[in-house]
Amino acid sequence: MLSLANAFDEKDLVNFEKKINNFLNINDEHHIEYSVEPKIDGISASLIYEKGKFVTGLSRGDGKEGEDITLNLKTINDIPKTIKDKDFPDTIDIRGEVYINNFDFEKLKDKFANPRNAASGSLRQKNPEDTKKIPLRFIAYSFGHQKGLKLETQTDFLEKLHMWGFKTNPLNKKLIGVNNLIKNYDKIEKKRADLEFDIDGIVYKINNFQLQKRLGNVANAPRWAIAHKFSANKAISEIKDIEIQIGRTGALTPVAKIKPINIGGVLVSNATLHNEDEILRKDIRVGDIVTVERAGDVIPHVLSVDVSKRKNKSKKFTFPKKCPCGYETIKEFNKVTKKFDAVRRCPDRGFECDRIAKEKLKHFVSKEAFNIDGFGKKIVENFWKLNLIKLPQDIFKLDYDKIQKLDGWGKLSAENLRYSVDEKRQISLERFIYSLGIRHIGLENAKLLSRYFGSFLKFKTLSKKNNYNDLLNIDGIGETQIISIKNFFSKNINLTILNELDKLLDIQNVKVINNNGVLRDKSFLVTGKLNNISRAEVKSLIEENSGTTVSSVSKKLDYLITGEKPTKRKVESAKALNVKIINQDEFLKMLNKTS
């Protein structure tokens, strides 16, 4: 179950549509049809039906692994247990949102902070009879895998859901054009407070399923959908202190410790101040009365200062020039903007800086990385203070006898932690690379690198072979990423970490989903403008058929695909290296497709 990219204004929506047009290689005059669906602020659930019978229900979890909550979901009246319609698919995974409406929440508000927390807590009850007492509801909006579904659009699917007995959002619409999306957004936001359920934005999906399939996904989100978040909630508070937090990449982030306030049902006690330049620009000081803003899942931040309420003895905040580890901080020069970055950093010392090391460990166990159940940020902080963990390999060599004697622990909780840790000793290469917290290597780049290396052994021995420049052949990896990777492998402590983790973990080789495609073991590069198809879609087609794309002409290149006005240098280099040069039609013939 993928996440969604976020939009916050009209500009974001224009860019989203522009990316869609570029990928599909269609002009801006082509009118894209959207399924427009207000996003209920609840808990995502997946309902699996076999032969019309509801058999399994799962929570979203981290998007790949969720909890089996079948028995709890079966207590919800909105979820059909059996569907007898002839056109209902043989197998289908219905996706939707579990929520509590605002009227019902009034009776529960003494126990929970907001309706979403109430729904989440209720779904995780161990006894379904306890869940049954909570007025949970379900709205369906999508599907995962399916067999036998014969529909062409998302809006057709929503209509079918209603016919099959599922509740759907009454505010769903079909619209064309960003202007109409904005008008609808403004209209719904105005009546948001009067709705019977909480919504935190509107989801826009490309309506046509065939276009959705062509667009596909990036690392953890579909290209064909975006969530338009509602405007932020604001509140007034006082800054009690300003602390400097060091991130896993060495960035120094100032954080305002504020008098706790409730913003949109969430108790807020911290607000980011972004960077040194932001503090200077807004002249933010300890003791100031400030407006704090929180938008959706975005971290709360200080919007403005009420200078009229500032105390006479107030002093300007002095940003530290040294990291707590003792090193002088720096502001890096950006070659693109020709300016120094706003963010001040501790030089990327990795695990040699205690502050960075601690944040790297938090990243290592995070959801998108190792996702160790019950091993959150607070556990990392506590175990760090007790010297139980200092490096990633320490997590897999914990002394559980010692842990069970700690305050708040016991034999059962220590054994549960042991089980959670041992369960994650097997991990995919892409998740492992991401877990290392190498600067500029996010989920998408980790996936690209894992495909390139194929195995942990090849990744680990990169520094020995010193083939860093070869990484430029990976389409999507540039000099910035290569400098970060080179810096990571230049530190002996990182090489030790890799060797130790190799002994403790089962890091899986990359599984090629389609290893028998017609382009197997072939590499491609595109130059020039293609007809009715974008480079991004060509890349997607190549990968779907077991081929690879590279970013430059070399001996390793098998085919150079040329369109209109190809780069002469690339064509000449290809000829000199005897690389086969083909046009768009010849490429599509290789796939048994026509332009």
Angle subtended at Cα 494 by Cα 493 and Cα 496, rounded to the nearest 5 degrees: 65
- At 551, list the tokens: 């970013």
Angle subtended at Cα 321 by Cα 319 and Cα 322, rounded to the nearest 5 degrees: 120
Q: What are phi and psi of 145, to 5 degrees?
A: -75, 155
- At 171, list the tokens: 């505010």
Angle subtended at Cα 336 by Cα 330 and Cα 337, rounded to the nearest 5 degrees: 70
The answer to whether 151 touches 157, Cβ cutoff 8 Å, is: yes
Rounded Cα distance between 9 and 316, Å, is 34
Cα radius of gyration rounded to whole Å, the chain? 26
- At 422, list the tokens: 């041992």
Sign of the Cα pseudo-torsion (201, 5, 136, 420, in order): negative
Rounded Cα distance between 290 and 258, Å, is 9
Angle subtended at Cα 226 by Cα 221 and Cα 230, rounded to the nearest 5 degrees: 130
The contacts of residue 448 (CB under 8 Å, 6+ apart) are 474, 475, 476, 477
Fill in the DSSP letter of residue 316: P
In the residue annotation, 39 being an active-site residue is answered as yes
Helices and strands: H and E segment counts in the chain: 22, 22
Fill in the DSSP letter of residue 15: H
The active-site residue, picked from 11, 19, 39, 424, is 39
Positions of E strands within 247-288: 252-263, 266-272
Buried b (16+ CB within 10 A) or exposed e, 233-258: bbbebbbeebebebbbbbbbbbbbeb
Fill in the DSSP letter of residue 509: P
Rounded Cα distance between 411 and 415, Å, is 6
Task: Give the catalytic positions in this structure.
Answer: 39
